[in-house]
Amino acid sequence: MAPRGDKITERLPELPLNYDGIRAVAPEFYRDVVSTCARACREPAANIREMKDFVKRYVEHWVDCAWLPE
């Protein structure tokens, strides 16, 4: 994610290898990402717990992701 209007957004196609352009994200999903990150950053144990819970909430979304651990 990058802030709207930030100069880095103009260079994104040059930087990440898999950047595919700007995509719309459901507001509910975005709010869940932000609130999960807020809870996760409090302490290391919270980070692990929150990230695992997040993946479980969206397990269908991650099915075809190469990074998903088995």
DSSP the chain: ---TT-THHHHGGGS-TT--------HHHHHHHHHHHHHHTT-HHHHHHHHHHHHHHTTTTTTT-TT---
pTM comes to 0.59
Residues 40 and 9: their CA atoms lie apart, in Å, by 26
Q: Is residue 47 part of a domain?
A: yes
Q: Is residue 50 part of a domain?
A: yes
Q: Is residue 67 part of a domain?
A: no
The residue segments making up the domain with residue 48 are 23-61
- Those residues with Cβ within 8 angstroms of residue 10's Cβ, 6 or more apart along the chain or in another chain: none
Per-residue pLDDT of the chain (70 residues; tens, 9 = 90+): 666 667 777 766 666 656 667 778 889 999 999 999 999 999 888 999 999 999 899 888 777 766 655 5
Question: Which amino acid appears at position 58 of this protein?
Answer: Y
- The structural domain count of the chain equals 1
